[in-house]
């Protein structure tokens, strides 16, 4: 997940820099931020979890990520089942067309179901709070020994 998020943030950073650098040439750089889109990737994720021994969810059974993967699979199923969270590829295409044809495009366009939850709130609330909610949803916890050490360090 870290590399996936890093690649998305890298594209944002490059786009922000290019938007300023290309301005002197009259070129407008726009970022379209699609959220979860209803594509076959979700079915592939489900299949990976259903097939034993195929780099699936069970590969994490004997690791520190076991609870995270179990919670992650449950969250994915809940998310996929809630269709209001998903936009169609055609929705993203319409946003791209708008960004490409409007006279004065915005720097960023969001195309996402639940955009307040997925885009606005994470930018309003403190990072620690957002991280805590994500960790809660996906069952990410520090080992018990580290929790005690953190409390001792604070005192």
The DSSP code sequence of 99-145 is HHHSSS--SEEEE-TTHIIIIIHHHHS-HHHHHHHHHHHHT----HH
Among the candidates 52, 68, 84, a domain finishes at 84
Q: What is the mean pLDDT of each run of 10 residues along the chain (155 residues)?
A: 82 96 96 85 64 55 67 64 74 96 94 78 90 80 64 56
pLDDT of residue 76: 66
pLDDT of residue 68: 66
Within this chain, do residues 91 and 135 fall inside the same structural domain, yes or no? yes
Within this chain, do residues 121 and 58 fall inside the same structural domain, yes or no? no
Whether the CB-CB separation of 108 and 30 falls below 8 Å is answered with yes
How many domains is the chain built from? 2
Angle at 129 between CA 126 and CA 133, to 5 degrees: 140
In which domain, by residue range, is 99 found?
1-35+86-139
Within this chain, do residues 90 and 29 fall inside the same structural domain, yes or no? yes
**Which residue do the tokens 């290019």 mark?**
18
Does some domain include residue 151? no
pLDDT of residue 133: 85
For the question of whether the overall pTM of this predicted structure is more than 0.75, the answer is no
CA distance 20 to 28: 9
Does some domain include residue 150? no
Other beta carbons within 10 angstroms of residue 20's beta carbon come to 9
pLDDT of residue 100: 95
Q: In this predicted model, what pLDDT tens digit does every residue of 122-149 receive, in sequence order?
A: 889 999 998 888 888 777 777 776 555 5
Within this chain, do residues 95 and 134 fall inside the same structural domain, yes or no? yes
pLDDT of residue 14: 97
């Amino acid at each position: 997940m870290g590399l996936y998020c890093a690649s998305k943030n890298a594209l944002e950073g490059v786009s922000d820099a290019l938007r300023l650098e290309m301005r002197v040439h009259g070129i407008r750089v726009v970022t379209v931020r699609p959220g979860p889109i209803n594509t076959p990737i979700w079915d592939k994720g489900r299949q990976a979890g259903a097939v034993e021994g195929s780099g699936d969810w069970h590969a994490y059974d004997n690791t520190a990520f076991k609870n995270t993967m179990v919670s992650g699979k449950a969250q994915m199923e809940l998310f996929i089942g809630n269709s209001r969270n998903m936009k169609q590829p055609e929705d993203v295409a319409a946003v791209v067309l708008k960004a490409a044809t409007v006279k004065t495009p915005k720097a960023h366009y969001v195309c996402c179901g639940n955009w307040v939850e997925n885009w606005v709130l994470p930018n309003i609330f403190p990072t620690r709070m957002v991280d805590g909610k994500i960790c809660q949803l996906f069952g990410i916890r520090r080992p018990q020994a580290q929790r005690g050490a953190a409390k001792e360090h604070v005192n």
